[in-house]
Amino acid sequence: MFSKACEYGIRSVLFIAEQSQMERRPTIVDIANAIGSPLPFTAKICQQLARSGIIISKKGPNGGFHLPKDATLTLADIVVSIDGQNIFSGCILGMPECSAARPCPVHDQYNDIRKGLKSMCENTTVMQLSEKLRKGETFLKF
């Protein structure tokens, strides 16, 4: 459903959030290793997330990536910064014109899925998910 970049972006932000709660600033190498992503791809994604203001990048000997302690990010914030808003409104088959008046073959079936996905992303915070990671209830890498 999400692009590979978005999947790795979500994983990266969740790992950074978990580490931020412990007052750590992981490096790009730490992030790539923790989420099982290729290093150059992870670097590119984290640059994009930093430019979007999703994560904070600090250079230098005590550098790394982190989130503000009061971050109120949702999954939707991450998804939109990487894949754009179209994932929540576009056609699953990629057709330029797909609506109730002129539907693609799977428009009606996908409409409820798209609404559910949007609702889940908008109502799920990064901190909720990172807390589950911290407690060992969930994981980011096999």
* pLDDT value of residue 142: 58
Largest CA distance in the chain: 57
In the chain, which residue ranges form alpha helices assigned H by DSSP? 4-21, 28-35, 39-51, 75-83, 107-123, 126-134
pLDDT tens-digit readout, 117-142: 999 999 999 989 988 988 889 988 75
Among candidates 71, 65, 75, 80, which has minimal Cα distance to 25?
65
Low-confidence residues in the chain, pLDDT < 70: 142
* pLDDT value of residue 131: 87
Work out the angle between the directed axes of helices 75-83 and 126-134 (0-180°, nearest 10): 110
Q: What domains, with CATH codes, occur in the chain?
A: 4-134 (1.10.10.10)
* pLDDT value of residue 86: 86
Report if pTM > 0.85.
yes
Count of residues making up the chain: 142
CA 50 remoteness from chain centre:
12
Work out the angle between the directed axes of helices 39-51 and 28-35 (0-180°, nearest 10): 110
**Considering the chain, what is the average pLDDT of its residues?**
91
